[in-house]
Structure 1
Amino acid sequence: MKFGKLSIAAAVSALAGTPFAYAQSSVTLYGVIDAGINYTSNVQTGRTASGLHGADQYSFQDGATGGIRGSRWGLKGVEDLGGGLKAIFVLENGFGIGNGTLAQGGAEFGRQAYVGLQNPYGSVTLGRQYDSVVDYTQLFQSGAIWAGYLGAHAGDVDNTLNTRRINNAIKFASADYHGVKFGGLYSFGGVPGSIGHNQVWSLGASYYGGPFGLGVGYLNARNPNLSFYGTNPNAGTTAASNNLGGLGSATTPESNPIYAGYASASTTQIISAAGSYQLGSATFGVNYSNVQFRGLGSNSGPNPFGYSGNASFDNIEANFRYQITPAWLGGLAYVYTHAGGADDRGVAIYHQVQAGTDYFLSKRTDTYLIVVYQHASGTDSFGQPAVAYITGQTPSASNHQIAVRVGITHRF
């Protein structure tokens, strides 16, 4: 949907009685609505002295928690400033289709909000933005194409499915040079007397040529409990808050037991690399990521389990998709996650298998089915027997969990 050109410049010109050169500009309204019905097995309902308790759940969910695409609406604009230079902006709001509430912790434009300049060599933008791991390696994952948030690596520990956005960031993204793109981002911590406190920076690059695709990304977040995991309005603002998750209670479930015990890390580092190869209607993909929570025991967040040193996660995904017809896609993927733990604790393994199919009724509307199964073993970051936790759902009360979703998406 296109809005008319703004008339402020014309009004100023008329009042001044002088000629005014008009720049070509446009603003576009766009959006996505993703809704569906989910079944999740054995979700936690709380804990007692005898252990965790759970039950099967049927629920209506927005795409941001259990589907392929989070519901959103946005405005994006461009103004031609002449000489190849353009002003650009994006304001993108996430919302829950089931009740109309704001997503991203209540942020009005929680998905993206930035303004900047663009020329033939690339763009520089400022605001709330995606990091380079997301920009350059996300599209190699099954979760970004057909498996959705359910198909993210365990708990989306590597953020490749974009659970976190970066606030107060300046970002460069290059133009496409014969299939090569690259870029980087820096987020200002804004702490007086300490340039590095709360800072986030990332770098990435990708290449697409013929049937091949390659992508790499790197992210480093200092004091991540606040700078990386605490970027939504509903997050805690002090080191006493755990923005990664929680233990739950007798009547409430745990939140993110896979890595919530590492909120005291002084630094989070993410390295991601991915590739794909297309052979006719089939596409084969593989991606790897390493996540490290370094300097555990710092004053960045709570440390109830007394961790020190580093904790690490290795994620490996192999995926396959096949374009059955121009309108019908099918996919299958396997994800292996090894949690290295810290102080010889928190060592766990997560196996995840997912399958899905997506059928386009038109260019704007599609229906889909996703099935995900996860099995956990070892000890999680809470120091307890690891439970399964399919991203976007409530953790299981046992070491296995299955999630099934039937959904519909419409774009406008």
Structure 2
Amino acid sequence: MNTTKYIKFVVPHCILVATLGLAATLATSVSMAASNLTMYGIIDLSLYYNHVSRDAGSWGPAISGSQAGMTSGVLSGSRWGIKGSEPLSDQWSVQFVLEEGVNAQNGSLGQGGLGFGRQSTLAIANNRWGSVQFGRAANLAYSYLVPFDPFSISGSQAGWGASFGSANGVRPNNLLLYQSGNMYGWQASVGYSFNTGFSAIYANGPSNTLQPGTQFFGTSANMRMLTAALRYSRGGLALLATYDAVYGASQFATGTGQTVANTNQATPKAWLAAASYDFKVVKVSAVIGQTFDGAFFGQGAGAGGYSTPLTTFSEGSNVLFAQGAKSSQYALGATIPVGPQGRVLLSWQMLQPTGALKANTELATQNIFSAGYVYNLSKRTDVYVWGSYGNNYQTFSTARSSVVGTGVRHFF
């Protein structure tokens, strides 16, 4: 072997490979620098005491019991996530969010054990025209009503989701969502889920038992959802109107593994309208809504994170399909600053059975009264105390739930 020729051949090629590797590394570094990547999260843990009761009736025997313990996500759902964006041009960008809920008291996953169950989306955005988003995300009633509620649709029974089921942590799978750009304070949005993944009870159908989410081939064979909203925000004034409708699966599986046609023709629908104004010394808000032909996402009593003996309005399902079942919802809220680091939270909400439900003597109007105080220890950490009382909870006559607690929340 001619050593000199070998060295002349190998050394330049090694230099070339090293140069290409360094160039690739630099290109990757530049690409990452050009992208915006953020890791974030919230840990919210609380100690609580909850007492529930109900007189005997057709729904079951009398109930009276209490529980004390630890729970997660009273003021904010505990979570961690990664979000980022990459500019495609001066006007266009690609954005993504992967967000996972956590039950911080025991380390388990939230949202039924789903990885990134809070949000898993990819979007194409334009600075002027808005964005088109794909994946699992909150519906518009939920994500847009959060700023109006003093408890931010959290606090379990204290959050307005206990009355406004269409805004109670609703996160459909397979959601295609368009959100317009902000035009003089206005924003319009509309979304469609090809398969929500929600569980359901189809009352008066071939089966009244709980049906899990489906994954059939054929779009109409699965439950679908429409969500739409129009909102306005300028200065201290904010306005919101939303509409949601869920279309039942055309078939579902039986216990023997066969499929049965769904003869239930109900289409649960809900609308709400909200307004708030920040007077600086107090922020006040109000919301009104109605639900038709069923119910959405009934809220369990107490502080969340565990099951109570009380029944939810949707009877344990994500969506109840029941023709003629109607309800009206109302809420008022106030957030009052107390000094530079504290604020008082006040809330009242009502869920009123109407339509075919009004004649049922076992049902009555729900009223929930809640109050809390939050004190900021730093920019990212606060402590809080709260209490809530619900009468005729989830509209079941004589059902009552009282909860008090104190907790700490940290943002990162």
Please give the TM-score of this superposition, normalised by the length of structure 2.
0.73
- Structure 1 equivalent of residue 148 of structure 2: 140
Letter paired with 2:179: A
Change (3 A) 1:224 1:203: farther
Report the CA distance between 1:12 and its aligned residue: 8.9
Q: Compute the displacement of 1:405 (Å).
A: 1.7
User: Where do 5+ consecutive residues of structure 1 fail to align?
Assistant: 1-9, 227-236, 241-263, 296-300, 381-385, 388-397
Deviation for aligned residue 1:81: 1.2
Deviation for aligned residue 1:210: 2.0
Specify every segment of 5 or more residues in structure 2 that has no aligned partner in the other structure, as ranges.
Answer: 1-18, 196-214, 256-263, 296-314
Which amino acid letter does the alignment assign opposite residue 119 of structure 1?
A: N
Structure-2 change in CA distance of 1:274 and 1:61 (3 Å):
same
- The residue identity in structure 2 corresponding to 1:56 is S
Aligned CA-pair RMSD: 3.6
How many angstroms apart in 2 are the aligned matches of 1:101 and 1:205?
Answer: 36
> 1:281 maps to which residue?
281
Say whether residues 1:325 and 2:333 are aligned partners: no
Instruction: Provide the rounded CA distance (Å) in 2 between the counterparts of 1:98 and 1:221.
Output: 33
SS in 2 for 1:175: coil
Query: Greater CA radius of gyration, 1 or 2?
Result: 2
Give me the whole-angstrom Cα distance separating, in 2, the residues matched to 1:302 and 1:33. 27
2:63 to 48, 53, 66: 53
In structure 2, the partner of 1:249 is: none
Residue in 2 that maps onto 1:363: 379
In 1, Cα distance between equivalents of 2:365 and 2:88: 53
* Matched residue type, 2:376: F
Query: In 2 relative to 1, CA 56–117 (structure 1 residues): closer, same or farther, beyond 3 Å?
Result: same
What is the aligned partner in structure 2 of residue 198 from structure 1?
223
> What letter corresponds to residue 151 of structure 2 in structure 1?
G
The residue number in structure 1 matching 2:172 is 166
Match of 1:116 in 2: 123
Per-residue deviation at 1:356? 0.9
Q: Is the contact between residue 154 and residue 350 of structure 1 (CA under 8 Å) also seen in structure 2? A: no
Q: Is the 8 A contact 1:341 1:347 kept in 2?
A: no
Contact 1:34 1:407 (C-alpha < 8 Å) held by counterparts: yes
One of 232, 236, 240 as aligned partner of 1:211: 236
Q: Evaluate the alpha carbon distance shift between residue 12 and residue 315 of structure 1 in structure 2; reply closer, same or farther with a 3 A threshold.
A: farther
Does the 8 A contact of 2:382 with 2:408 survive in 1?
Answer: yes
TM-score (norm 1): 0.73
Structure 2 residue aligned with 1:95, among 85, 93, 102? 102
1:32 to 42, 67, 81: 42
How far, CA to CA, are the matches of 1:314 and 1:371 in structure 2? 24
Superposed structure 1 runs of 4+ greater than 4 Å apart: 10-15, 18-23, 46-50, 190-197, 237-240
Written as runs of structure 1 = structure 2, the 5 A alignment for 1:13-412 is: 22=31, 24-42=34-52, 51-63=61-73, 67-120=74-127, 121-144=129-152, 148-153=155-160, 155-162=162-169, 164-189=170-195, 192=217, 195=220, 197-223=222-248, 238=253, 266-293=266-293, 309-340=323-354, 342=356, 344-345=359-360, 347-376=363-392, 386-387=396-397, 398-412=398-412
CA distance in 1, matches of 2:64, 2:391: 16
Deviations 1:208-255 (A, max 9, x none): 1222110111111111899xxxxxxxxxx7477xxxxxxxxxxxxxxx
SS in 2 for 1:267: coil
